[in-house]
Structure 1
Amino acid sequence: MERGVTGTYETSVAAGETCRAFVPAPLPPDPSLSVDASLQERLDEAHLVLGRLDSVSVLLPETSVFLYSYVRKEAVMSSQIEGTQSSLADLMLYEAAGAPGVPLDDVREVSCYVAALEHGLALLKGGLPLCTRLMNEMHAKLMTHGRGIGKAPGEVRRTQNWIGGPSPARASFVPPPPQRLGDCLSDLEKFLNDQPIRHSALIKAALSHVQFETIHPYLDGNGRLGRLLIPLILVHEGVLREPLLYLSLYFKTYRSNYYEMLQRVRLHGDWEEWLWFFATAVRYSAAQAVDTAKALNALGEADRERIRSLGRVAASALPVHQALFARPMSTIPAIGAVTGQSPHTVGKMLDAMIALGLVREVTGMKRNRIYEYTACLELLNREGEA
């Protein structure tokens, strides 16, 4: 349904230039959403796959392992949309105290994404509602290191920004002026907390994402934080027990469609078309997550069987394998801290696993070695067809 422009334009000034800034109308859409049979079917499909994904967090014995790795995969994907070159291996190297093969700022930015998600989840579990304070605290974590440190971490912007184009006057989109951000964020808070009416979790996440991206309340990091809010909303609403849904790969694959959809909502009010796109992204991404979780679980069981073939040393090798499964790139001291084994024992078990072709040493050095669970990383890096 085309409703026309979903907001108003106000004159603002950015970089010394006069421009037209867009102030979105509060949610929910007016007229209200028109969900026909086809759109309802797509939403139902997305909900169904989300249910399957949620069951993964209950049924799979390696859920915590999957969550650790999958969150980091999403951090890499989301940051790549913003132009970083860091890979999953770079991030895990960084976390294992190794030197990443990309600029340090890139891998630090990805690490901050993980920290922001973990902080947001902790705040929600502590009873804080979905609100501007939560967003600000997550933004502060997100922008702690790297190129974002000078972009007012945790603070709503006080100046006009713009998106695309060489100047504000020729930008593809100009978000609300800074003096309107308080009202815009307050209205978004109300919608997130079911005022004036309640919406389903999926619709709430879909509409809120567009609204946040349109408000663009920070100097930098808006895209990453906007994508982070999607799994947080679903966890807060009880749809998912763990934040296992991430849409960055889908948004990256269909980036031009994604940006076009956002602008189409602003200019034409076609929320239903956006809902279709969003539900399709959820359906695909949740199905991929389920497949990846099952594949990781199968890999772990198959490799444990191979380790059991080692005979007497298997009892010592299995805990080392489990430590590497939890952290697919690690060091002898880190593995020893988890398993309680001596460095000598850990090293011997790693040598045995290298002989089986399960593990490889990635530094080529005699000291401060880092070990990679190769098949696990390859499985996580498999993106599939969107």
Structure 2
Amino acid sequence: MERGLTGHYIDTIAGGVRCQAFIPEPLPPQPPLVLNGKLQGRINHAMLALGRLDAISTLLPEASLFLYSYVRKEAVMSSQIEGTQSSLSDLMLYEMKGLPGVPMDDVQEVSCYVNALMLGVQRIREGFPISHRLVMEVHTALMTSGRGIHRGPGQFRSNQVWLGGHRPDEAVFVPPPPQHLAECWSALERFINDIPEATDPLIKAALAHVQFETIHPFMDGNGRLGRLLIPLILVEAGILNEPLLYLSVFFKKHRQVYYERLQQVRVTGDWEAWLLFFVDAVADTASQAVTTARQLNRLREQDKTRLAELGRQAGSAGLVLDALFRLPIANINHLCQQTGLTPATVGKLLTAMEAKLGIVDEVTGQRRNRIYAYRAYIDILNQNPS
């Protein structure tokens, strides 16, 4: 449904050039959303997929093991949208004090994303609403190292920015001037917290994401934080117990359509077209996550069975495999801490698991401070839907 412009333009100056900035109207949309049969059916499909995703703990012996690595996959994909080159293996090597194969700033930014997401979830579980305070804390965590440390962590921007185009008067979009940010955020905060009326959580996540991207309140990190808001809203609403819905892969794959739908909302007011795209992203992503969980569970069972080929070492090798399932790139010291085995024993087990079974690979090529990767596990996580 086309409602027309969903805000108004005002004169502003960016980079010394006069241009028109867009200030969005508060949510919810007016006139209200039209949930016809097609859209409602796709919403229902997405909710069923979310239900299966939330039940993921029944598919894996320890859901936290899947969460650990899946959060990191999302961090990598979300940061790649912003231009970093870090991979999942780079991130895990960095966390293991190894040397990533990309610039340190890139991998630090990805690591900050992980910390920001987990901080947001922690605050919600402590009873904090999604408010100015929480968003500023999460943004500070997101920008606490790497290139972001000089880009105003935890502070609304104080200057006018524009998106797309080399000049602000030819930009694809110019977000609100800094003096309007507090007002715009306050209105969005009320909507997220169901003031004055409640909104279905899935629809709320969809609309709030667009509004946040339109407000563009920070100098940097807006895209990542806007994507973080989606699982945080669903966790706060109890739709998901764990923040396992990450749409970055879908948004990256369909990047052009994603940006077109955002701009379409602003210019024509067609929120329904955006919702169709968003709930398809949710259904596709949730279903893929469940498939990934099943593949990881199957891999664990298969490799546990293969350990029998190691004879008397099989029992201790099972402890090492369990530890690698928690962290699929690890050094001997970490594996000793996780298993209670001695360094000599762990070293022998890893040699056997590499040479005889091909379950792990040594990734440094060094004689000391060696790091091992559970390659099949990482390959499953790196799969993206075609």
Normalised TM-score (structure 1): 0.98
- DSSP-derived class of the 2:366 partner: coil
Task: Measure how far apart 1:283 and its partner are.
Answer: 0.5
Task: Measure how far apart 1:147 and its partner are.
Answer: 1.3
Alignment check: 8 A CA contact 2:54 2:242 kept: yes
RMSD of equivalent CA atoms: 0.8
- DSSP-derived class of the 1:72 partner: helix
- DSSP-derived class of the 2:12 partner: strand
Q: After superposition, give the CA deviation of every residue in 1:245-287 in whole Å (9 maximum; x if it has no partner).
A: 1100100010000000000000000000000000000010000
Alignment check: 8 A CA contact 2:148 2:220 kept: yes
**CA distance in structure 1 between the partners assigned to 2:217 and 2:202 by the alignment:** 23
Alignment check: 8 A CA contact 2:59 2:294 kept: no
Aligned pair 1:261/2:258, yes or no?
Answer: no
- DSSP-derived class of the 1:310 partner: helix
- Partner of residue 289, structure 1: 289
Instruction: Name structure 1 gaps, 5 residues minimum.
Output: none
- Partner of residue 134, structure 2: 134
- Partner of residue 47, structure 2: 47
- Partner of residue 218, structure 2: 218
| Counterparts of residues 83-232 of structure 1 (less than 5 Å) | 83-232=83-232
Amino acid aligned to 2:366: M
| Counterparts of residues 231-270 of structure 1 (less than 5 Å) | 231-270=231-270
Alignment check: 8 A CA contact 1:57 1:241 kept: no
**CA distance in structure 2 between the partners assigned to 1:133 and 1:176 by the alignment:** 21
Q: After superposition, give the CA deviation of every residue in 1:62-119 in whole Å (9 maximum; x if it has no partner).
A: 3111101111111111111011111111111111110000111111111110010011
Amino acid aligned to 1:330: A
**CA distance in structure 2 between the partners assigned to 1:237 and 1:90 by the alignment:** 33
Task: Measure how far apart 1:309 and its partner are.
Answer: 3.2
Task: Measure how far apart 1:127 and its partner are.
Answer: 1.0
Q: After superposition, give the CA deviation of every residue in 1:277-327 in whole Å (9 maximum; x if it has no partner).
A: 000000100000000011101101110111133221111111111111110
Alignment check: 8 A CA contact 2:116 2:139 kept: yes
Amino acid aligned to 2:365: G
**CA distance in structure 2 between the partners assigned to 1:239 and 1:156 by the alignment:** 30
Aligned pair 1:65/2:65, yes or no?
Answer: yes
Aligned pair 1:279/2:279, yes or no?
Answer: yes
| Counterparts of residues 307-326 of structure 1 (less than 5 Å) | 307-326=307-326
- Partner of residue 336, structure 1: 336
Amino acid aligned to 2:32: S
Name the % identity: 59
Amino acid aligned to 1:271: W
Amino acid aligned to 1:133: R
Task: Measure how far apart 1:58 and its partner are.
Answer: 4.3
**CA distance in structure 1 between the partners assigned to 2:194 and 2:378 by the alignment:** 40
**CA distance in structure 2 between the partners assigned to 1:224 and 1:281 by the alignment:** 16
Instruction: Name structure 2 gaps, 5 residues minimum.
Output: none
Amino acid aligned to 1:183: E
Alignment check: 8 A CA contact 2:50 2:239 kept: yes
**CA distance in structure 2 between the partners assigned to 1:119 and 1:174 by the alignment:** 30
Alignment check: 8 A CA contact 1:9 1:21 kept: yes
- DSSP-derived class of the 1:8 partner: strand
Count of paired positions: 385
The answer to which of 276-285 and 128-137 deviates more is 128-137
Task: Measure how far apart 1:59 and its partner are.
Answer: 4.4
Normalised TM-score (structure 2): 0.98
